[in-house]
């Protein structure tokens, strides 16, 4: 498809057919869809690896799904997917390949970038990470004074923080509990202060994670961490080599910072920051869960990659979830998408997905730079159930907004719960199933009246329902299942970006704020007259300086 026709996604016959179909669907309720086709409860499901994916509670029929697949076909989703897996430079604005899938390819796979097979280098780094993790976990790698490393502090931000931080929480049950693992990302000094205040520098390893090794937050925190360490260990610079390692693509900057290149774990420019957590960026996680569990995680990712690459469109889970999101954004004006894990261990999962989805698809020009006039990425939000039920679910149930939601749950809690707590799992999951039922089918005014509710309260106690949800159910939250889940969302985001014809792999939108922050800083610290400061910001800076006592 040429650039001219791609800019007119919403003038494609396939798009218009979906619009017409949406009109025909009108106010059709999920109750009617289930009455017409009771089999959809089992028919509208997919089994992918360990994931059971139920999409029966969506406002779709066979016709909707067929039309959505036609849209995917005409917009070249499969072709772009194949180009990604082949290592073509589909990140057009940065002229880069997009090959996070190579990070979890088996050792005998061949994936070429500019004619070179990158898989051996991937496995070389993995082996180096495994060797280092083994040394830290066994106590063989000691600190400068000879003490065993008991604390690991990852300093990074965005993709160099959210992935390992999320996965560390998710896989806590698999971690070595004798290690304290913390994540520092915020340039607010309080973050590092709280992370290290009760730690012994002699027992602390800092992992400086930064693809570029130029990110101001990370370099500032790393510099402060080095000062803290040296202050605690008598000031001998030689201590840095035992207490600092780097995860980066930029050996030059790592060396300039003072980290021994031998203690650097590399990756490549074809790994996007938000897609990097299964690269060297996962080192903190590997130390916590061990190399074997980390490899299980990678095999989970790879299984989903293979599914996405090879499954027919009607059986392809990322394709399906991506298209459903497009359906609601374009034809129901849904502005946001909730991800609601019914697992305490997935407490950071939605935060991780926020970067994955919103940094990838928060775009308003297409791949050729033309403005798009259709909805792109949604606002992604959510926290673990059941907490959300007692906070914001009211709005999902009875508010005025359409909020499609993913419910993620597990049949079994992870092993180590004592019997009484293990038994709570059924209550947790009863809530999980009850919520999607209530959201889909609601409660009619007649049903409310039949309960003898006073007429004045009937409208308040009525639930319209018809709120679409996906249910993702797995046996247990293992490393492999986590890998499958993350890759599912990575590829869902890919599908959406492909249909919308946007570059899901750049992030120019974060640049302006970075540049302005550098410009504003001297105004705060020195009261410098910063040229080009707008009147509002100038006034705010003056108030800040006064409050700061300057």
DSSP state at residue 358: I
CB closer to ligand F6P, 158 vs 479: 158
- The reply on whether position 160 binds ligand F6P by CB under 6 A is yes
- The reply on whether position 473 binds ligand F6P by CB under 6 A is no
What are the residue ranges of helices labelled H in 455-505? Answer: 458-461, 479-500
Interface residue with ligand F6P, options 30, 51, 157, 474 (CB under 6 A): 157
Ramachandran angles phi, psi of 371, nearest 5°: -60, 140
Contact 362, 379 (CB under 8 A): no
Residues in the chain: 550
- The reply on whether position 166 binds ligand F6P by CB under 6 A is no
Q: How far is the CB of 40 from ligand F6P (least distance, A)?
A: 39
Q: How far apart are CA 171 and CA 187, in angstroms?
A: 26
**Residue count, binding to ligand F6P (CB under 6 A):** 14
- Burial degree of 348 (CB within 10 A; 0-12, 13-18, 19+): buried
What are the residue ranges of helices labelled H in 387-510? Answer: 393-398, 419-441, 445-450, 458-461, 479-500
Q: How far is the CB of 285 from ligand F6P (least distance, A)?
A: 16
**Chain Cα centroid distance, residue 169:** 14
Closest CA to 497 of 364, 392, 349: 364
Angle between helices 317-331 and 291-310 (to 10 degrees): 70
Q: How far is the CB of 92 from ligand F6P (least distance, A)?
A: 17
* Piece of 90-98, 104-112, 156-164, 309-317 that binds ligand F6P (CB under 6 A): 156-164
Of 464, 514, 521, 526, the catalytic one is: 514
Question: What does the H/E/C string look like for 283-325?
Answer: HHHHHHHCHHHHHHHHHHHHHHHHHHHHCCHHHCHHHHHHHHH
Angle between helices 479-500 and 77-86 (to 10 degrees): 120
Omega within 30 of 0 (cis) for the link into 386: yes
* Piece of 71-79, 120-128, 158-166, 474-482 that binds ligand F6P (CB under 6 A): 158-166
Of 4, 23, 390, 455, the catalytic one is: 390
Q: How far is the CB of 264 from ligand F6P (least distance, A)?
A: 14
Interface residue with ligand F6P, options 49, 87, 143, 159 (CB under 6 A): 159
- The reply on whether position 215 binds ligand F6P by CB under 6 A is yes
- The reply on whether position 211 binds ligand F6P by CB under 6 A is yes
- The reply on whether position 367 binds ligand F6P by CB under 6 A is no
Residue 514 designated active-site: yes
Residue 88 designated active-site: no
- The reply on whether position 223 binds ligand F6P by CB under 6 A is no
E strand or H helix at 109: none
Contact 99, 494 (CB under 8 A): no
CB closer to ligand F6P, 35 vs 95: 95
Residue 359 designated active-site: yes
Interface residue with ligand F6P, options 7, 218, 462, 501 (CB under 6 A): 218
Residue written as tokens 């996405």?
308
Three-state DSSP class for 186? coil
Structure tokens, 278? 């299964």
Q: How far is the CB of 96 from ligand F6P (least distance, A)?
A: 13
Q: How far is the CB of 160 from ligand F6P (least distance, A)?
A: 4
- The reply on whether position 361 binds ligand F6P by CB under 6 A is no
Interface residue with ligand F6P, options 256, 391, 423, 510 (CB under 6 A): 510
Of 359, 490, 491, 492, the catalytic one is: 359
User: Between residue 171 and residue 210, which ones bind ligand F6P under the rule CB under 6 A?
Assistant: 210
> What are 154's strand-pairing partners?
183, 207
- The reply on whether position 158 binds ligand F6P by CB under 6 A is yes
As annotated, the active-site residues are: 359, 390, 514
Give me the residues that bind ligand F6P (CB under 6 A), please: 157-160, 210-212, 215, 218, 273-274, 359, 507, 510
């Amino acid at each position: 498809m040429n650039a001219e026709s791609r800019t007119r996604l919403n003038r494609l016959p396939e798009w218009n057919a979906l619009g017409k179909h949406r009109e025909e669907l009108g106010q059709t309720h999920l109750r009617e869809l289930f009455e017409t086709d009771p089999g959809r409860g089992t028919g509208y499901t997919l089994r992918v690896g360990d994931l059971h994916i139920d999409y029966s509670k969506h406002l779709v029929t066979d016709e909707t799904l067929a039309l959505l697949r036609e849209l995917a076909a005409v917009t070249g989703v499969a072709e772009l997917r194949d180009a990604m897996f082949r290592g073509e430079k589909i990140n057009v604005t940065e002229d880069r390949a997009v090959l996070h899938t190579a990070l979890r390819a088996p050792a005998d796979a061949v994936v070429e970038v500019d004619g070179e097979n990158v898989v051996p280098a991937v496995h070389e780094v993995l082996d180096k990470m495994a060797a280092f993790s083994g040394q830290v976990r066994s106590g063989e790698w000691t600190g400068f004074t000879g003490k065993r490393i008991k604390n690991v502090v990852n300093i990074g931000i965005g993709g160099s923080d959210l992935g390992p931080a999320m996965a560390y929480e998710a896989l806590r049950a698999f971690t070595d509990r004798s290690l304290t693992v913390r994540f520092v990302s915020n340039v607010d000094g309080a973050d590092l202060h709280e992370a290290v205040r009760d730690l012994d520098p002699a027992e602390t390893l800092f992992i400086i994670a930064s693809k570029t090794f130029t990110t101001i937050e990370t370099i500032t925190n790393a510099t402060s961490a080095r000062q803290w360490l040296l202050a605690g260990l008598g000031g001998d610079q030689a201590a840095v080599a035992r207490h600092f390692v780097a995860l980066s693509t930029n050996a030059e900057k790592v060396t300039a910072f003072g980290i021994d290149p031998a203690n650097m774990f590399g990756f490549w420019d074809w790994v996007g920051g938000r897609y990097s957590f299964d690269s060297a960026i996962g080192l903190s996680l590997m130390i916590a869960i061990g190399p074997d569990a980390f490899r299980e995680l990678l095999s989970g990712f790879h299984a989903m990659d293979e599914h996405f690459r090879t499954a027919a469109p009607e059986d392809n889970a990322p394709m399906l979830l991506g298209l459903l999101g497009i359906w609601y954004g374009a034809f129901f004006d849904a502005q946001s998408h909730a991800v609601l894990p019914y697992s305490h261990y997935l407490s950071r999962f939605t935060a991780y997905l926020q970067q994955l989805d919103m940094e990838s698809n928060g775009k308003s020009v297409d791949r050729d730079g033309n403005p798009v006039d259709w909805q792109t990425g949604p606002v992604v939000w959510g926290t673990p159930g059941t907490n959300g039920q007692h906070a914001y679910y009211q709005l999902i149930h009875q508010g005025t907004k359409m909020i499609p939601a993913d419910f993620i749950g597990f049949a079994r809690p992870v092993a180590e719960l004592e019997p009484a707590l293990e038994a709570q799992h059924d209550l947790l999951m009863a809530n999980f199933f009850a919520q999607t039922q209530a959201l889909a089918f609601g409660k009619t005014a007649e049903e409310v009246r039949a309960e003898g509710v006073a007429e004045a309260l009937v409208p308040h106690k009525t639930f319209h329902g018809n709120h679409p949800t996906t249910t993702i159910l797995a046996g247990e939250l293992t490393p492999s299942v986590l890998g499958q889940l993350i890759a599912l969302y990575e590829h869902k985001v890919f599908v959406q970006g492909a249909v919308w014809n946007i570059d899901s792999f750049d992030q120019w939108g974060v640049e302006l704020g970075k540049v302005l922050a550098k410009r504003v800083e001297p105004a705060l610290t020195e009261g410098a007259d910063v040229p080009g400061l707008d009147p509002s910001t100038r006034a705010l800076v003056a108030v800040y300086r006064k409050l700061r006592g300057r």
